[in-house]
Structures are given as structure tokens and as C-alpha cells.
Chains A and B, each alone.
Chain A
Amino acid sequence: MGAFGRLTLVNIRRHKIRTLLSVAGIGFGVAAMLTIVSIVLGAIGMFQNILASESHYVVFEKNVSDLFFSSVQMEQIAALRAMPEVDRVDPMLVGIVSSPDHPIITCFGVEAGDPHVSKAHWLSGDGSRFGVEPNTLYLGRRAAEFLKASPGRKLRIGKGEFQLGGVLRTDNGFEDGGVFMPMKLAQEYFHREGIVSVCTVKLKNPREGSLFKTEVERRFGGLVALENREFNQSYSQFRILNFTSWAVGICSFLLGGMGVANTMLMSVFTRIREIAILRVCGFSKAQVAALVFGEAAMVAGIGVVSGFVIGMLSLRAMNAAPQFQGYVQAIIRVDILAAITVIAFATAFGGALYPAWYASKIQPADALRFE
């Protein structure tokens, strides 16, 4: 480390508690943003995986605020299946069920042969008999754990009592923590006979997508067909979640930035004489400002590292906590880490702007006049 770096380090070590509070401000901002954004991205990713399995398009009710409220008629499903460019249609009815002690469990109503069940790894039960036995449902691995259910036993879901037909394992936290019902049973349970929430469509030739899309909108005015990529970008819930997570993260950073501003300002105020001496020794205004920015950068650097450690540990703890039923499957992306780092440094520099300006304006004579 050069002499300039040592001078910066000495300054931040001089008032350890003050520096620590500043580092904590940035660190908690980083941790909060990392945790929130990663969880939201993970949740979105899991939801996308549910819809995107082996399909090209998602068809659902136009202008619906949430897929839980979307309604697609079974006649429309049949019509879609009859379209010459369509290879396969997999309808899904999504709902929320409850059991004693677990008020919110996602329920997927799917048909036999749906890739979600046919391609899953069955830990118990037989996937080929999905929907054959009456009044039988199936559980994801984590749902079976937290419901303490085992095949052959009866299971109370809402006001109904069902037989457990098997337990399946997927790579998706939502599915692993969910209940799978054969479509007919789900429609009866949710009183939505003849209706599904959404369907995924696999085309014979994916290049005919735009034709398919136009055709869906022409034939079924109330429905919309979106490519998986389009769906991810336009589905309002994803947008709201994304926006909220970044907004919450940035708010926490603003608090951190105020902490840095306060620390740097106090640091400058208590060192007016010292800064005057640096000026007397030949430090330029820019060098004095660089000293303050250097301190802010060090605070930000330590804050970023500690924030990432805290955030990663929190995510790991949430992922392991049984209370979250496996729904926390954080996605940590390098670009997100980079964005958080940039925001943290920008916040610290923003906080150091006024102190740096103030420090660079200190006149040696004024500071030294009253020796």
C-alpha cells in the first residue's frame, strides 16, 4: 500500500466506531439488496420454470393482473390442440390450498402425462398412475416433509380429505413445496369446472410463432399468447416484484449513503487543522478531495464485502429454514453483484461529495491563524 493509501487507512481507523457504523450502513444496504433481489429473481425463475417446461408459448387471459385469476376454457384448450401448427398443449390450473398449520400451499392442477409429473423423479408412488385413482393427490418432496405425509395415508387439505398417491422431486422450489392434483380433481376442488388458469404450448415449428400468436388473438379475443421471453418481460407481477426489490434495496442504500456522508463530514470537521497542514505541505484541492473519496471508497469496499457475506449467509439460512417450505431459491447473478457493488460505491461517493468539497475549500491560514 502506498503512502496515500496508508494516510487514508489511518483516517478511517482513527474513529473506529464511526467508521464501523458507516460500513454497517453500506453493508446492510448491500445485504438487503442482495437478499431481496436474489429471492425475487429466484421466485420469478421458479415461476418461469413452471410455465416454460418444454414449451414455446404461454396462453392466458388477456389483461389479467395475476395468473391465479386467469381463466381459459377447456373448449379453448381443445381448439388450441386442434390447430395444425400446435404440437402439444399442457393446461394448468393454479390455486392456493391450505392444511392445518400451513395456510398457503401452491396447488397445481395438471393432466396425466404433463411433463411436470411425467418427467419428475418419483420418490414414492408411480407417475404413470397419476390421476387414475379417485380422490388422490400427489406432493412435492418438501411439501411431503412439512406436511409429514407418506403415501397411502389420508391427508386433509382445506375441507377435503385426500389419499396421498406419491411424492415427487423436481428442481423447482415452488413445485417441490406444492400439491399436484389431477386436473378434474383440481377443477372440482376450486369450483372451476371446465376452466384452467393457463396453458403452455409447444409448436411443431417454433419459427411459426408469430403466426400462432396472431391466430390465437384472432380466434380467442380474450386470450393472449406470449413467447416465454415476452411473458417474463411483460407479466406485471414480475415487473412489480422486480421494481419493488430494487426500490427497497436502493432505499436501504440511501440510508447507508447518509451514514457515509455523516461519517465523512465529521471526519473532515475534526481534521480541519490537519487538512490545512496537508495543503501547506503541497496537497492540491484535488488531492485533499481524493483523500476523502479514498476514505469513502474504503468504507464502501469493506461494506460491500461484509454485505455480500451477510447476504449470502442470510440466503443460505432462509433456504435451509423449514418455515420457508423451500420457496427461497435465490438466484445470485454476477451482473446483480456488479450492479450492487456499483450502487454501493456510487452511494458512498455521493455521501462523500459535500465533505470532499468542504475539505478542498479549507484555507490553511484560516485553520492555522489561532495556534
Chain B
Amino acid sequence: MNPHETIIDARDLWKSFDGGQIPVIQGVDLQIARGEIIALWGTSGSGKSTLLHLLSGLDVPDRGSVSVLGMDVTREADCLRLRRHHIGFVFQLHNLIPDLTLEENLLIPAMAAQKAEEKAKARIEELTEAVGLTHRLQHRIQDLSGGERQRTAICRALMNRPEVIFADEPTGSLDEQTGAVVFDLFSRLVALEKVTLVLATHERRFVEACHRALRVNRGKITEL
């Protein structure tokens, strides 16, 4: 495995909404190497979330191409393979299923990838121990605090041992102190698992913890 290998390669990305009336991403070229922790920093409405969605295959560009680990994210089959085995997501809102327990929520990626439940449970134990949630396994999401929910979302993103994690304002819904704790935990886990992290954030304090930071402004990126 080459540590400097480019694993995300975006070329000439363009994206607009409302039939071209609202240009959001304008001609972005971006290469991200394996193991990099990279921040997409910008104010609200700058286009950083849209760029993250395009890089991760959640959204389709109007023009340009994105490949992750050599797979075309706009192709349904490649995208499905990536989501199941190679990439994970953390969102601003935890986006967990409230009626399921913490453990059942963590089983979802394993279920999608059709992994054996026993192996998945062993992985759950490993991850929840790392984030201090082992005692909450059988609790339903609605009974967890905001910080616990976001830690659960981080565990879910890491369930299938992905190579890349896309995080969109992962602490945006938390208070400053809890956000800092969760981000610290997140960074340590990412380093421990040797995962490439693409982080969209508006908070400057998190940018400093990244290997590289890109400013997103009016749909274009510049190195910080």
C-alpha cells in the first residue's frame, strides 16, 4: 500500500442547482492522498457540503469526474461497492434510526455489506469500547445524549473498516465543549484506523488539526 497514493481524484467538477440558476461548485480539481486528513473549510453556503457530496458519490456533478480508489462514484455499482466496503459518512445530525438500539444501528452497515452478525458484533464491541459506549449498547438512540449519538455515528461510519471517511460538520450540532471532545475522539480513531478523512467544517479550530486545509468560497477551492 503506497501511503502517497492518490485515492480521491476529482477533475473539473461543476455543480449547480435550480436548473443552472444557482452555481455551487465551479471547476474544482482536487487530489487527496491515502492517509490524509483534509479540511474543506468555508462559511455556510460556500459549497463545502456539496463538494463533499460530490467527492463521496452522494451527489452527481453536472460536469467533471470523481474517482475514489479508482472507482467512478457516479456509477451505481461502483458507488454501492464503495459505500459498502471502502467509505463511511458522518453527518452534522447523527442520522441514526431512533427506534433501534445503539447496537442495531451499528449493525446496519454490516447488514448492507452482508457480513456475519457475530463478526459485526465483535467489531461493535471494539469500536464502542474505543469511544466509551459499551454500557449503552442496548439503549435506544432516543435515550442517548447528543455527544453519545455523534460518537455512535462515528462508530457506524467505521463499522466496515473503510479507507475513507467523509464528515460533514460532524460536531455542528453539539455544544463547543462536547464538540471538542467528540472531534478529539474522532481524530484519534481515524489515526488509529489509518483512515483518510475529508472533513467539511466552518470551525477554524478543527482545521488546525488537519494535514491540509482547503478554503471553499463561491464554489472554488484555494489552499489555506
A residues at B contact (CB < 8 Å): 2-4, 6-7, 10, 13-14, 273-274, 277-284, 287, 364-365, 368-369, 371
Give the complex CA separation of A369 and B17 in angstroms. 11
Contact in complex: A368, B111 (CB < 8 Å)? no
Give the complex CA separation of A283 and B108 in angstroms. 9
Contact in complex: B95, A273 (CB < 8 Å)? yes
Selecting from B4-12, B83-91, B210-218, the interface stretch reads B83-91
Interface residues of B in 108-153 (CB under 8 A from A): 108-113, 117
In the complex, the 7 A-B pairs of residues with the closest C-beta atoms, listed nearest first: A282-B112, A282-B84, A365-B59, A282-B83, A3-B107, A365-B58, A281-B109
Which of A2, A282, A365, A369 is most buried by chain B, counting CB atoms within 10 A of its CB? A282
Contact in complex: A3, B53 (CB < 8 Å)? no
Q: Of the candidates A10, A287, A364, which one forms a contact with B99 in the assembled complex, judged by CB atoms under 8 Å apart?
A: A10
Residues of A within 8 A of B80 (CB): 282, 284
Residues of A within 8 A of B180 (CB): none
Residues of A within 8 A of B107 (CB): 3
Contact in complex: A280, B99 (CB < 8 Å)? no
Contact in complex: B95, A277 (CB < 8 Å)? yes
Q: Would you give the shortest CB distance from B200 to chain A, in whole angstroms?
A: 11
Contact in complex: B91, A365 (CB < 8 Å)? no
Residues of A within 8 A of B113 (CB): 282
Q: Would you give the shortest CB distance from A293 to chain B, in whole angstroms?
A: 16
Contact in complex: B108, A278 (CB < 8 Å)? yes
Contact in complex: A368, B91 (CB < 8 Å)? yes
Contact in complex: B93, A371 (CB < 8 Å)? yes
Residues of A within 8 A of B156 (CB): 281
The answer to the question of B163 belonging to the interface, with a C-beta cut-off of 8 Å to chain A, is: no
Contact in complex: A365, B53 (CB < 8 Å)? yes
The answer to the question of B181 belonging to the interface, with a C-beta cut-off of 8 Å to chain A, is: no
Q: Which residue of A lies closest to B17 (CB)?
A: A369
The answer to the question of B187 belonging to the interface, with a C-beta cut-off of 8 Å to chain A, is: no
The answer to the question of B191 belonging to the interface, with a C-beta cut-off of 8 Å to chain A, is: no
Residues of B within 8 A of A279 (CB): 83
Q: Of the candidates B92, B97, B99, B109, which one forms a contact with A371 in the assembled complex, judged by CB atoms under 8 Å apart?
A: B92
Q: Would you give the shortest CB distance from B75 to chain A, in whole angstroms?
A: 13
Give the complex CA separation of A365 and B180 in angstroms. 27
Give the complex CA separation of A93 and B7 in angstroms. 92
Give the complex CA separation of A348 and B59 in angstroms. 33
Contact in complex: B112, A368 (CB < 8 Å)? no
Contact in complex: A278, B112 (CB < 8 Å)? yes
Contact in complex: A281, B117 (CB < 8 Å)? no
Contact in complex: B104, A6 (CB < 8 Å)? yes
Q: Would you give the shortest CB distance from A205 to chain B, in whole angstroms?
A: 67
Give the complex CA separation of A283 and B84 in angstroms. 8
The answer to the question of B160 belonging to the interface, with a C-beta cut-off of 8 Å to chain A, is: yes
Given A281-B109, A282-B112, also A274-B97 (CB < 8 A): yes
Q: Would you give the shortest CB distance from B157 to chain A, in whole angstroms?
A: 9
Q: Would you give the shortest CB distance from A115 to chain B, in whole angstroms?
A: 66
Contact in complex: A287, B112 (CB < 8 Å)? yes
Q: Would you give the shortest CB distance from B159 to chain A, in whole angstroms?
A: 8
The answer to the question of B224 belonging to the interface, with a C-beta cut-off of 8 Å to chain A, is: no
Q: Of the candidates A10, A281, A365, A371, which one forms a contact with B83 in the assembled complex, judged by CB atoms under 8 Å apart?
A: A281
Give the complex CA separation of A10 and B168 in angstroms. 28
Interface residues of B in 59-103 (CB under 8 A from A): 59-60, 80, 83-85, 89, 91-93, 95-97, 99-100
Contact in complex: B89, A280 (CB < 8 Å)? yes
Q: Would you give the shortest CB distance from B83 to chain A, in whole angstroms?
A: 4
9 A-B pairs whose Cβ atoms sit less than 8 Å apart in the complex: A3-B107, A3-B110, A4-B111, A10-B99, A281-B83, A282-B80, A282-B85, A283-B111, A284-B80
Contact in complex: B108, A281 (CB < 8 Å)? yes
Residues of A within 8 A of B99 (CB): 10, 13-14
Given A365-B53, A371-B91, A371-B92, also A280-B104 (CB < 8 A): no
Q: Would you give the shortest CB distance from A137 to chain B, in whole angstroms?
A: 69
Q: Which residue of A lies closest to B76 (CB)?
A: A285
Give the complex CA separation of A274 and B99 in angstroms. 11
Residues of A within 8 A of B59 (CB): 365
Residues of B within 8 A of A371 (CB): 49, 91-93, 168
Q: Of the candidates A3, A13, A274, A369, which one forms a contact with B111 in the assembled complex, judged by CB atoms under 8 Å apart?
A: A3
Residues of B within 8 A of A287 (CB): 112
Given A280-B89, A282-B83, also A10-B111 (CB < 8 A): no
Give the complex CA separation of A36 and B186 in angstroms. 63
Given A281-B83, A371-B92, also A10-B97 (CB < 8 A): yes
Residues of A within 8 A of B168 (CB): 371
B150-173 CB mask vs A (1 if < 8 Å, else 0) is 000000100010000000100000
Give the complex CA separation of A287 and B108 in angstroms. 12
Given contacts A368-B53, A368-B58, A371-B49, 4 further A-B contacts (CB under 8 A): A10-B100, A273-B95, A279-B83, A282-B113
Residues of A within 8 A of B93 (CB): 371
Q: Would you give the shortest CB distance from A163 to chain B, in whole angstroms?
A: 74
Q: Would you give the shortest CB distance from A368 to chain B, in whole angstroms?
A: 7
Q: Which residue of B lies closest to A366 (CB)?
A: B59
Give the complex CA separation of A7 and B96 in angstroms. 13
Q: Which residue of A lies closest to B97 (CB)?
A: A274
Give the complex CA separation of A279 and B109 in angstroms. 10
Contact in complex: A2, B117 (CB < 8 Å)? yes
Q: Would you give the shortest CB distance from B42 to chain A, in whole angstroms?
A: 16
Q: Which residue of A lies closest to B173 (CB)?
A: A371
Contact in complex: A7, B58 (CB < 8 Å)? no
Residues of A within 8 A of B96 (CB): 277
